[in-house]
């Protein structure tokens, strides 16, 4: 027979063992914080659109959502504390290399990146192209600061950790968890501001997170992460690529001015099916003759650019961006042109990724 005191010791030991086993069953998720609205603060609870971003550090973000401990063992790192419109190529490289290093650790099952929404889609696509891992990498942000009524950041962060710690999210490339949806980092774009349903893909989400459970409906088919020919561990620079915007009465000199900065490629964000104004065509032809790659994209929100439709791309030796919007086309061109290759190879890359 155990004495009452001995019985308490045994029960305490069993409880500790059970808690330890439960903790061991939880996935280990690292949250890398970079700033943005999800780390923002407004002057009052009604300030959902006017606020200062990148104010709350990662440790306070984690503490503000205690439910995270129910789904994962979480730790955080503050990589940057900036608004995402200020991201540069150097930021992308630094972040990508840190994620790659973490993904190689046996004690890391998934990675969440908190990010401002303005360029979140660009960072997601960059990581999708360059980080060689099957472990889930999930980007998350918010449209309202945590100080606002109906702030969306807490649930978005919770859902992102759920996805990052899930075995069924492995091998699906870099993901974005926003507004209960799980989107492919390649496809998703910010399509509206102010509202919480800001992110969408014209091809639809991959799935949803509902009450801490993932529901999947489709899978990515383009090359990504472990299947990519690009490797962040071997990438120390990105090619200089700029975007020229097409519109009525556009000045032909715009592209020429950018080219004088020594860019390797110009993304022409055309109207409609990537259309190029007649007065701009000879400028782009001249730049191509000098070795600058020309990529036709479109600034319409959906659809894709058809090769040799609006312009004789074969004749001009131009590339089409397929369904990538101009900002994502810039990311892909910057990565692809960091290593040798001609326009035919660049077009192949745009078809495959």
Binding residue ranges for substrate: 84, 117-118
Work out the number of other CB atoms within 10 angstroms of the CB of residue 63. 10
Q: Which two tokens stand for residue 170?
A: 């492995």
Whether 333 and 345 have beta carbons less than 8 Å apart is answered as no
Give dist(CA 260, CA 254) in Å, integer: 10
The radius of gyration computed from the CA coordinates of the chain, to the nearest angstrom, equals 23
Helices 89-103 and 120-130 pack at an angle, to 10 degrees, of: 50
45 is catalytic: no
First and final C-alpha spacing in the chain: 69
Give dist(CA 38, CA 144) in Å, integer: 7
**Binding residue numbers:** 84, 117-118
Give start and end residues of each alpha helix (H) in the chain.
Answer: 4-25, 58-63, 68-71, 89-103, 120-130, 153-164, 253-259, 281-289, 313-316, 326-336, 343-352
Q: Which entry of 34, 37, 119, 123 is annotated as an active-site residue? A: 37
For residue 306, give Cα distances in angstroms to 233, 267, 269, 313: 34, 15, 14, 10
Give dist(CA 59, CA 89) in Å, integer: 26
Torsion on CA atoms 24, 30, 36, 41, rounded to nearest 10: 40
37 is catalytic: yes
Q: Which entry of 45, 88, 114, 117 is annotated as an active-site residue? A: 117
Q: Which residues are catalytic?
A: 37, 117
């Amino acid at each position: 027979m155990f004495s009452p005191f001995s019985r308490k010791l045994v029960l305490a030991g069993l409880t500790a063992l059970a808690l330890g086993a439960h903790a061991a069953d939880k996935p280990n998720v690292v949250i890398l914080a970079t700033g943005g609205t999800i780390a923002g603060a407004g002057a009052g609870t009604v300030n959902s659109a006017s606020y200062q971003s990148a104010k709350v550090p990662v440790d306070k973000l984690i503490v503000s959502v205690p439910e995270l401990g129910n789904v994962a063992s979480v730790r955080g790192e503050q990589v940057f504390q900036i608004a995402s419109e200020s991201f540069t190529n150097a930021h992308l490289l630094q972040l990508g290399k840190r994620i790659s290093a973490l993904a190689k650790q046996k004690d890391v099952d998934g990675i969440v990146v908190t990010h401002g929404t303005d360029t979140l889609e660009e960072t997601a696509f960059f990581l999708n192209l360059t980080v060689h891992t099957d472990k889930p990498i999930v980007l998350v942000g918010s449209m309202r600061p945590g100080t606002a009524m109906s702030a969306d950041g807490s649930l978005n962060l919770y859902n992102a950790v759920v996805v990052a710690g899930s075995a069924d999210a492995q091998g699906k490339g870099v993901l974005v968890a926003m507004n209960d949806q799980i989107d492919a980092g390649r496809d998703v774009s910010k399509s509206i501001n102010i509202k919480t349903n800001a992110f969408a893909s014209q091809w639809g989400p991959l799935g949803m997170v509902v009450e801490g459970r993932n529901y999947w409906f489709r899978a990515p088919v383009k090359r990504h992460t472990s299947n990519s020919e690009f490797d962040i561990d071997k990438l120390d620079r990105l090619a200089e690529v700029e975007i020229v915007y097409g519109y009525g009465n556009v000045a032909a000199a715009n592209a020429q001015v950018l080219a004088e900065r020594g860019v390797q490629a110009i993304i022409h964000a055309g109207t409609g099916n990537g259309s190029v104004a007649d007065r701009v065509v000879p400028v782009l032809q001249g730049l191509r003759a000098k070795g600058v790659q020309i990529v036709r994209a479109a600034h319409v929100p959906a659809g894709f650019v058809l090769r040799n439709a609006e312009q004789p791309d074969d004749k001009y030796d131009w590339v089409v961006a397929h369904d990538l919007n101009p900002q994502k086309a810039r990311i892909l061109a910057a990565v692809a042109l960091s290593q040798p290759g001609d326009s035919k190879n660049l077009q192949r890359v745009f078809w495959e990724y």
